[in-house]
Structure 1
Amino acid sequence: MKVSREVKTAILVLSGIALFIYLFSYLKGEDLFSNTQTYYTEFNYNALSASSPVTVKGNKIGKIEDISYDFDSGKTRVSFSVNPKLKFSKNSKIRLYPTGLMGGNALAIIDAADGEMAQAGDFIQSEVKEGLITSLGDDFSDISKDLGTTLRSTDTLVGNLNTLVTDESEEGLKQTIAELNATLKSFKSVAFSANNLIKANDEKLTSVLDNFDKTSAELAILIKDLNEVKLSNTIKNADEMLLKFNQLAAGLEAGKGSMGKLLKDDALYDNLEKASKELELLLLDIKLHPARYRRILSKKEIPYEAPTQEQLNNN
């Protein structure tokens, strides 16, 4: 069977149109021969473009099909298709995230791993992940404000400096430089004087440093000698002695031993005080009547007479 030229031409034209449609769809990211399932979500603003990828854990599994504005809700409604082999929960999130520093966004399916499985045509809740550029933009807005304030302060400072050095007689700056020069000369003179003073007392300074070195060496020897005589043992013995003294004081406070009883026993104290008083009276009587005690061995007894108050006061 012979095919006419017209039929061949028609077949060639139709094949070209089909190829053109396929290539155009391919360039748009559409695959005419793929079997996909379409889902829906929405955002407060549009940051996507047609054929933007849809990913799962960084792997492309679909693309954006259509982006439209919903006049009733005021939100951007997005339809996207994914490979039918993908199974995810209806409670999952569709996350809008940036794909790089140069711009561009994509959608990622964050599977909730629980709940009913999503079916084609279902609406999935969305969320937005802020990108690096957006965060930097927010930070740079504050930085720019602070930088503007700093620049204005710097401008004011420079203006004040200009006012300070400007003189209507046009001699203010020259006078300022002259005063600065005089100050530098004075400083140079002081430096020369200090240098001459050091040179004049160089031997004394050397002697002082030598004495300091000797003192340091002697101090080191003294510390070494103290370490060798075991100063720590001496301190330990002193601690033991203080501990025993504290124990002795505690015993006296508790009334233990003769000294403790003497300090704490009121009856013993009263007896000692009474004996001391009687001994005082005996010595006074001996002083007033010595003849009585010279004849103590004689047969004649001299009766005891208590001293008068005047005698007590005189003695």
Structure 2
Amino acid sequence: MKISKEVKTGILVVVGIFLFIFGFHYLKGQNLFEDSNVYYTEFDYNALTTSSLVTIKGNSVGKIRDIAYDYKTGKTKVAFFINGELKFSKNSVVRMYEAGLMGGNAIALITAEDGDIAKSGDFLKSEVEEGLVASLSKNFSGLSGQLDAALISADTLMVNLNRLIVDDSDKGLKSTMNEFKETLKSFKNTSNNLNRVITKNDENIAITLERFKAASTDLSVMAKQLKDTNIGSTVESLNGTLGSLNTLLTTIKKGEGSLGKLMKDEALYNNMEGATKELEALLKDIKLHPKRYFRILSKKEIPYKEEKTN
């Protein structure tokens, strides 16, 4: 089938018109192949363009379609497209905000939790967020006053610091620095003296360290010998001896055995004390009258007389 030139020309014209319409709407921010809904709002003044974005939580979801001034109300009406997949309440608010210092303005959709789902063609409420430049401009006077106060404080600080440096009194910085300088000199002299003492006694210090090293070695050997010795058996034997001694002392304390009876039996103690006294008297009498006990020295018997004690 042969297509005539007229048909080809007509097809090219239709395609060209379609591309023109598509490109025109694309430049306006509308994609003919994308499912989108149009919504309306209004502002007291216009700071938007047809290329301004529509965002939600920082994400681009559409673009502004048309901006027109209403001569009756004195407000700017804005029509904008939003992707049809986005569902939100018709009680949501359209907020105009400053996208950046050089990025122009945009509108953001602040969704609401209540209300019916918005439909294409609905009118949404609007608000304006104060931008960074406007905020700085409004607060510039306050910032200027704070800056003046900061400069005055800095000037006062520098004046006080200058007075402290120039002050020649005992409490001044110069006096303090001089005292610190003298302290450093004294410390330096002490350090030099200490170095001289160490230098002069270097040999003695070395000998002392060697002796300390030898003593440490001997101590280590002695500790090793003590470790190798069977101290456990010695301690065990000592414990046995102490146990026996404890048993003996317990027996004596109870009055058992000869030594225990001697300590506990008062009659035996008294008899021994009397015997001791009689033995003492006998020895004393023998010493005073030996002839009484040794017949060889005297044939005459000398009777025993107990001496009177005062």
The structure with more radius of gyration: 2
- TM-score normalized by the length of structure 1: 0.43
- TM-score normalized by the length of structure 2: 0.44
